[in-house]
Amino acid sequence: MSLALSPAVRDLMAGWLTDLGSLRDASDATVDAYARDLTDFLGFQAQHAGEVIAPAALRALTASDMRAWMAAQRTRGVGSRSLARRLSAVKGFYRWWAEREGFDATAILSMRAPKHGRRLPRPLSVEGARDMIETVGQHDARDWVAARDVAILTLLYGCGLRRSEALTLDAGFLPLRDTLRIRGKGGKEREVPVLPAAADAVTRYATLCPHDLSPGTPLFRGIRGGPLNGRLVAKVMESARMQLGLPATATPHALRHSFATHLLNAGGDLRAIQELLGHASLSTTQAYTSVDTARLLEVYAAAHPKA
């Protein structure tokens, strides 16, 4: 499909993906998925037009063009959730492009995604989270590597960090204090408290790490001393969950879900948890947690007491 795109369009796409990864803290997996979605969309529009597509043609797309693409996606068997994600990628590209060059992208940005049921996250139980961290600590004969993996998972579960946030921590944070200032998605900053268990785990790793942890360098390192690849964190958790018999949903991100859910189950305030997670919307936090109906009613009653 790339052959149906003009060099100018390919340059625009590359610019957006670069900004998505560097400025908006999107994961490699997210950038790759958006690249596939946008390439598919642009390829369809080129085929629909019957010619190599240039920026001017993309700026002139109408709601009818968008509906034709969405209908074609449905014909290919794309489900509502996947189509919503693909439309989000297209809108993200056009929003970035319109802001950059100052044109009206209403025809694209006004398109509504198909409705779909929200998939609730599946956090680990308290025991499952603890077992995961303990098991990961036994997966590598090199003490410093095992300590590193434990420190990262403890930050994800104990502080509610995203994997990318933990892996981009600067060694200048050592030794960890009572709070951490985290720069999250969209450059939004937040303060998160650091539990003693998390501080102790990071201190142990830093003590054992054979690489120089000077300020201005990554806190978490790979075997050769470079920045740690996030895929290795997922891999070690995959190995541990298979050993423990946990489901495939027991991923690094599930520890962040677990942090939020366990706090709410313990009586935590939903808005406070929203701040700790760095969510812009309370509805996102509500979907992020998994509590039983009785607990939700208690939270509601506490927030809206009867006169």
183 is catalytic: no
162 is catalytic: yes
Catalytic residue among 94, 157, 205, 288: 288
Report the 10 Å Cβ neighbour count for 2.
Answer: 11
8 Å CB contact between 42 and 5: yes
Catalytic residue among 95, 185, 211, 295: 185
C-alpha–C-alpha distance, residues 128 and 110, integer Å: 43
279 is catalytic: yes
C-alpha–C-alpha distance, residues 243 and 238, integer Å: 9
8 Å CB contact between 150 and 133: yes
C-alpha–C-alpha distance, residues 214 and 170, integer Å: 9
Burial of 161 (0-12, 13-18, 19+ CB in 10 A): buried
139 is catalytic: no
- Tell me the residue type at 145: V
262 is catalytic: no
Catalytic residue among 24, 95, 253, 295: 253
Catalytic residue among 190, 256, 257, 262: 256
End-to-end CA distance of the chain: 63
8 Å CB contact between 133 and 154: yes
C-alpha–C-alpha distance, residues 183 and 198, integer Å: 18
Which of 55, 144, 149, 63 shows the shortest CA–CA distance to 103? 55
95 is catalytic: no
- Tell me the residue type at 159: C
Give me the count of residues in the chain. Answer: 307
Burial of 221 (0-12, 13-18, 19+ CB in 10 A): buried
**CA gyration radius for the chain?**
22
Catalytic residue among 34, 148, 157, 162: 162
C-alpha–C-alpha distance, residues 187 and 79, integer Å: 32
Active-site residue numbers? 162, 185, 253, 256, 279, 288
